[in-house]
Amino acid sequence: MTVQIKNKKIFILLLLLSLFVAPLSVLASELDSTNFKIVGATTQGGGILGTASGDYSALIGIGGISSNPRIYSTNYRLYTSPEKAFVPAVPTTSCFETTTDGSSNCTTGPTELTTGGMVAICGAGGCYNRARFEIDTQNNPTDTLYAVMISEDNFSSDIRYVDASTFWPESSSTHNLSDFMTKTDWETETFNIQGLAAGTTYYIKIFALKGDFTQSDAGPSANATTALGNVFFDIDIAGETGYTAESSPPYSISFTGAYQLIGGSAAITNGNRIWMDAETNSEGGFAIIMNGQYGGLYSPTTTQTITSATANLDSVPSGFGLQSEYIDYDDSSPLYGEITATTDYSGSINSVGIISTTPNKIYDGDGPTVAGRMALKVIAKPGTSYTPSNDYQETITLIFVPRY
């Protein structure tokens, strides 16, 4: 401030003009005048001494004093308008994850996530259509609201937002105030970004809002790549204790020796089992579908078929079918799925499910599956009406269907 004294009268004029200028700062410990002192102020450079009409002059300040120096950074714009003092600090992304395994930078999610990464909640390979992010608030108040921008090309042309209701990406045209939530509300959801494409890199930026007209600049970009769909299905032929047995094709089970089918005998359970391994990161789980070539045990020699049926073989003259004997899977995470046998194949003693020429579902998984292992018994009962032969046979096809 410049003061000129004319005719023993004091004219003081302070013209302050707030302009948005490049972030050139001058730090002063004291601003002195004969009448006052301002200590420790942060001001902007660019001041000039201007002469007005009349008999006085004044220092014109380009910019104004900021009361919010915490937002000064080499990465962010230096605010100059007084109202900008109320803008919240620019938030950052403390974690953005899809496929981490064994560890995580996320700290507010389920225990399984924080100790095992995204694989621990999405299954082997990680998440193919979901992600989790957490917010570093930069010391904003707890009631500060945040919105999330998302892109597949690091915001070059693809600019969308995360809908705070569905957690799916939405266009900028539908983005509104309802898409701002507190850090707690965002992070309550285990998967707070959904509806993503598999094998795709996504970028996010986070905004803060604290009152009307106070949206901050976007924070720095963070990125993560979604997993591909992961499926593993394997068949083994082994005895009833073959929990970890591995075998190679061709896979066959024979009713010979001690398990020979004799007309009029009681139902016979073969000593071998059809063992299956199943694993997938599919959010919807899986189904195992089965069908037979003949719909029973067919003899090319006699052209007769011991017809398969869903039945208690102790109560019918003859028949043939499958029964689930064993199911196991990793249930260490509540977000993993469970495996169950469908009703027709979950019987006991000699109750079997049909092997028909049309597909039938024998197992169901209701979520991501890790280390699934199942076993099927093969049970047959030949009737007295069938001509003896050693070539009764059936070809069974098992199909693993993930639900993506």
**Cα gap 138→201, rounded to integer Å:** 26
Closest CA to 271 of 307, 234, 242: 242
| In a shared domain, residues 371 and 304 | yes
In this prediction the pTM is 0.74
Residue 257 belongs to what H/E stretch? none
Beta strands in 189-304, from DSSP E residues, in sequence order: 193-194, 201-209, 222-225, 231-239, 268-280, 286-292, 296-298
Rounded to 5 degrees, what angle do the CA atoms 260, 262, 267 make?
80
Among the candidates 42, 60, 86, a domain finishes at 86
**Cα gap 402→132, rounded to integer Å:** 23
| In a shared domain, residues 258 and 394 | yes
Is the pLDDT at 124 greater than 60, yes or no?
Answer: yes
Residue 378 belongs to what H/E stretch? strand 369-381
| CB distance 280 to 230 below 8 Å | yes
| In a shared domain, residues 34 and 161 | no
pLDDT at position 260 is 85
| In a shared domain, residues 78 and 162 | no
pLDDT tens, position by position, 285-300: 999 999 999 999 999 9
Is the pLDDT at 19 greater than 50, yes or no?
Answer: no
| In a shared domain, residues 114 and 157 | yes
Among the candidates 26, 57, 86, a domain finishes at 86
| In a shared domain, residues 100 and 68 | no
For 32-41, b where at least 16 C-beta lie within 10 A, e where not — what string? Answer: eeeeeeeeee
Joined tokens for residue 199: 């094998």
What confidence category does residue 84 fall into, taking pLDDT thresholds of 50, 70 and 90?
Answer: low
Task: Return the residue matching tokens 């799925």.
Answer: 337
Among the candidates 225, 240, 259, a domain finishes at 225
pLDDT tens, position by position, 47-73: 444 454 555 444 444 444 444 444 445
| In a shared domain, residues 270 and 345 | yes
pLDDT tens, position by position, 127-178: 999 999 999 999 999 999 999 999 999 999 999 999 999 999 999 999 999 9
The whole-number average pLDDT for the span 36-45 is 50
The enclosing domain of 215 has a CATH number of 2.60.40.10
| In a shared domain, residues 390 and 281 | yes
**Separation of CA 67 from chain center:** 41
Q: How many domains does the chain have?
A: 3
Joined tokens for residue 146: 């945040």
| In a shared domain, residues 389 and 240 | yes
| In a shared domain, residues 216 and 107 | yes
Q: What is the DSSP string of 41-81?
A: -EEES--EEEE-SSS-EEEEEES---S-GGG--SSS----S
C-alpha distance from residue 37 to each of 40, 56, 86, 172, 368 (Å): 10, 22, 25, 49, 68
| In a shared domain, residues 52 and 109 | no
| In a shared domain, residues 240 and 361 | yes
Give the domain extent around 34.
4-86
Half-sphere exposure of 185 (CA within 13 A, CB side): 16
